[in-house]
Structure 1
Amino acid sequence: MEEIKRCGWCEGDPLYEAYHDHEWGVPVLDDETLFEFLTLETFQAGLSWITVLRKRNNFRKAFDNFNYRKIAQYNDAKVTELMQNTGIIRNQMKIRATVTNAREFMKIQEEFGSFSKYIWQFVDGAPIQNEVKDYKNAPSTTEISDKLSKDLKKRGFKFVGSTVIYAHMQATGMVNDHQVDCFRYKEVKELGKKMKLT
């Protein structure tokens, strides 16, 4: 049987490979999933993605399944409680940022109808199809991630630097950064062709 060719960054770790094979780069249009990824990306800042991925289920339990409506109501007592949770990344600034981001997230929903409509406008409603030959040469920021990061910061979001935002764009399929020789490259490209924001 022919060996499956994957992007180099995920090879050798079953959890990483499963994430790569089923989620990474798939266009995401629902706000709940977009908020989950945005939250996980902000916690990743300064850490590796696999560190966050291994704690993902703990994050789900700790943060009410990433229900931004509930998170927006978190108070100091809840932040203190989360700081005692050894299953997550216990960074008080990032925990408080998640609460702030949930509130700002809902403001964007009110303004644009959905967070999805807001964020996808930055790529004109369709994924950017890159042609990455080696994942090590993929960009960590782009003009679009710079622009989106700046806009989110202006709106009050925290921990949304351009690198975090570009990682979010890669994860949620706003860009297809699978290596061209990866088995998912063409599959994700086809998904991108089929999707259009209504």
Structure 2
Amino acid sequence: MKRCEWANKGNQAMKEYHDTVWGVAEYNDQRLFRKLILDINQAGLSWQTILNKSDAFEVAYESFNIEKVANFDEKKVTELLENAGIIRNRLKINAAIINAKCVLEIQHEWGSFSNYLWHFVEGKPIVHHFNKSEEIPTRTELSDEITKDLKKRGFKFVGSTIIYAFLQAIGIVNDHLVTCFRYEEVQNKTKNQQRK
């Protein structure tokens, strides 16, 4: 079974993430928020590190309930800074809280965080046709545009490279290699979701 090269460099959890989650179109606000926060926490680290800690993140961040995270207080921040199961970085923790508040504002304005994100591509994923990992960019004009708008709305820790990784993860961009067994599977799954 041919996978994207990066998926074979980690453990079984990395393979499962690649085979079932990465690149699949996501429309659920809570799961979108979860992926955004995990991608922010990955900055400077490997995705394997974040995957290994994902269960601890789930508990620490109250299942990534947007309203709950938006209301985290200083006591909760201290608790998170003492939690060895997650990434203990005050800037990243504070960014999660601020970003949760910003997501709530977007939901009020757009109806959902999903509506907001998907409007940048008019609801249709961008499908690339890369044969090698080296061809895949780390940022694009699209990630630059979304980053600029997110920052204008008050989001923190959202550089264009982080946002591009986020877009790949949530299926707004399909960057599975054309040789990967998931390349067409992801497109077919997205088409089926859009029909519902």
The answer to whether structure 1 residue 5 and structure 2 residue 24 are counterparts is no
The answer to whether structure 1 residue 179 and structure 2 residue 190 are counterparts is no
- The match for 1:109 is 107
RMSD: 1.3
- The match for 1:118 is 116
SS of residue in 2 equivalent to 1:157: coil
- The match for 1:137 is 135
Q: Residues 94-105 of structure 1: matches in 2 within 5 Å?
A: 94-105=92-103
How far did 1:63 drift?
0.6
- The match for 2:89 is 91
Amino acid at match of 1:147: E
Instruction: Indicate if the aligned counterparts of 1:126 and 1:195 stay in contact, CA closer than 8 A.
Output: no
Instruction: Indicate if the aligned counterparts of 1:42 and 1:94 stay in contact, CA closer than 8 A.
Output: yes
How far did 1:45 drift?
1.1
How far did 1:58 drift?
0.4
How far did 1:191 drift?
2.2
The answer to whether structure 1 residue 60 and structure 2 residue 58 are counterparts is yes
Mapped to 2, the partners of 1:122 and 1:104 lie a distance apart of 17
Q: Residues 24-43 of structure 1: matches in 2 within 5 Å?
A: 24-43=22-41
Mapped to 2, the partners of 1:136 and 1:47 lie a distance apart of 19
> Are residues 197 and 170 of structure 1, via their aligned partners in 2, closer, same or farther at CA, if it must alter by over 3 Å?
farther
How far did 1:98 drift?
0.3
Q: Residues 140-179 of structure 1: matches in 2 within 5 Å?
A: 140-179=138-177
Q: TM-score, normalised by structure 1?
A: 0.95
Gap regions ≥5 residues in structure 1: none
How far did 1:136 drift?
2.5
Amino acid at match of 1:132: F
Instruction: Indicate if the aligned counterparts of 1:84 and 1:90 stay in contact, CA closer than 8 A.
Output: yes
How far did 1:192 drift?
2.9
Q: Report how many residues are paired.
A: 195
SS of residue in 2 equivalent to 1:126: coil
Mapped to 1, the partners of 2:163 and 2:194 lie a distance apart of 21
How far did 1:197 drift?
9.2
> Are residues 197 and 112 of structure 1, via their aligned partners in 2, closer, same or farther at CA, if it must alter by over 3 Å?
farther
How far did 1:47 drift?
1.2
User: Structure 1 residue aligned with 2:77, among 69, 76, 79?
Assistant: 79
SS of residue in 1 equivalent to 2:120: helix
